Chains A and B, each alone.
Chain A
């Protein structure tokens, strides 16, 4: 399971005894989420809309946002939506599927999230993606596991007031000025293999690898395999990701293998993410398209 509850950081109302809390502030400066300058707005019904600016540092060669960054947007918004939907319980991301459409060069990606099922133990949320407010850019489906609210979150107060705002205060003064994966120090030195050290800037609130960074590893492991096999540029367009365990030991490594052979400019991959102890922490399949 992924700890997408990191989004609550932006929703917490400062408590009077905050100065006595000795835990390091979350998220730390230049966190993978705050660097994407995500914004959100929640309406009276609880439904959520969010936005993510797309720059040359976060886009593919086709001008679309990389799947990795879309995963961060929908994971953060899904986590936000899940708070009211699962109340009084809590929810953790169990799996995520994303399909991207060729919407062309994009400057702002919008996501609209809706709850499709709130069961006793699962929550299903759908996201519609729109490029620059007008062009269909794809969709996402997320499943959350509904669990008893963790002890340390029982008495928190959440600011769920309607209105558009930055999802993280750090985004107001932190700017991404390098390729997103370079900033995160995500490496893919061998085609089909991507790895990252477990550092606070890519972690969630419990110190494990952030759920969306699993998607970053899967995106780059798949795309790098595609670039190698196509001998040219390639973009990861679809992903089905299942979280199996918290990645608490670095480095985390994603290994992509081709399902059959590429054909018609399409590559299908199966990707496993292992932690530093060799334990399988997530699994995915992905589609890569030659550009």
Chain B
């Protein structure tokens, strides 16, 4: 699930620092937005590339916000999100550095919204394409306040040094005892405005679990030698308590591509299944 709420106060947004602007005068029935992700040493890997975990975070953020704009005066929760990375932007200089996310609402129905997000690098080369579905709901305290069209704004970054830490520290990850298991401790900065775990946080913990399984060792840190090339993630229930535990299992492989199934459960909430994902993890070495 994702929400945008008061964007300046969302910890995950404050960590990723993506600027979002709405294209047009804000009256379009199907909104169009563009996100500018600067990339920082703490969010990019040693090659300057954004991992699929944080890529999912920023896609979920801008896609969720844009879907929400299409749903006003109601708002949305993400139900599923599908991402594919461009095959020629997995290694080398292509696809590194700052990113642009072009976001279009494709369909706004009575109860759901489907939105596409195309991501390119600063040279305009494709990095990834994604679509996501959101369910429309009526939030208890109304939708987040937005002035249309949405214009870029500077986010205030807290002085807490955790906001300058590597992703695995910011997202409170702990490696399991065996490969394929990663735990996330829920902290206020990882919640969305409705108090539930930000959808991007689920993507981060499941990405680490899947990479850990393929490398055959417990890990939480970035691993440029493996990358999720595609992801189908279904958000089944909200994460509220924690610890949040992602468990990856292998379904099979096609050459360097490993098909991995990941379950994410909220152990503190009766081990409830929060997220189910299928992902392809490629070994690049």
Contact = CB atoms under 8 A, between A and B. Distances in A.
Interface stretch (B84-92, B174-182, B219-227): B84-92
Contact of B111 (A145, A238, A267, A287): A145
Given A101-B251, A116-B236, A121-B111, A270 B129 contact: yes
Interface in A234-291: 237-238, 240, 242, 244-245, 259-264, 266-268, 270, 280, 283, 285, 287, 289
A287 B230 contact: yes
A94 interface: yes
A-B complex: 7 closest residue pairs judged by Cβ atoms = A260-B86, A240-B82, A101-B252, A263-B87, A263-B88, A260-B126, A97-B232
Contacts, number: 126
B167 interface: no
B87 A126 contact: no
Interface string A85-111: 000000000110101011100000000
A170 interface: no
B251 A285 contact: no
15 contacts: A95-B82, A101-B254, A124-B236, A138-B252, A141-B232, A143-B234, A240-B131, A242-B106, A245-B107, A259-B129, A260-B89, A260-B127, A261-B87, A268-B84, A280-B107
Contacts of B82: 95, 97, 240, 242, 285
A95 B133 CA distance: 9
**For chain A, which range describes its interface: under 10, 10 to 19, 20 to 34, or 35 or more residues?**
35 or more
A99 B259 contact: yes
B72 interface: no
Contact of B278 (A94, A139, A262): A139
B32 interface: no
Contacts of A97: 82, 232, 278
Contact of B280 (A99, A124, A136): A99
B251 A138 contact: yes
Interface of B: 79-80, 82, 84-90, 94-95, 106-107, 109, 111-112, 114, 116, 118, 125-131, 133, 135, 230, 232, 234, 236-237, 251-254, 256, 259, 261, 273, 276, 278, 280
Interface in A164-186: none
Given A101-B259, A121-B135, A238-B230, A260 B87 contact: yes
Contacts of B118: 270
A116 B234 contact: yes
Nearest to B136: A121
Contacts of B273: 116-117
A109 to B, nearest CB: 14
Nearest to A1: B109
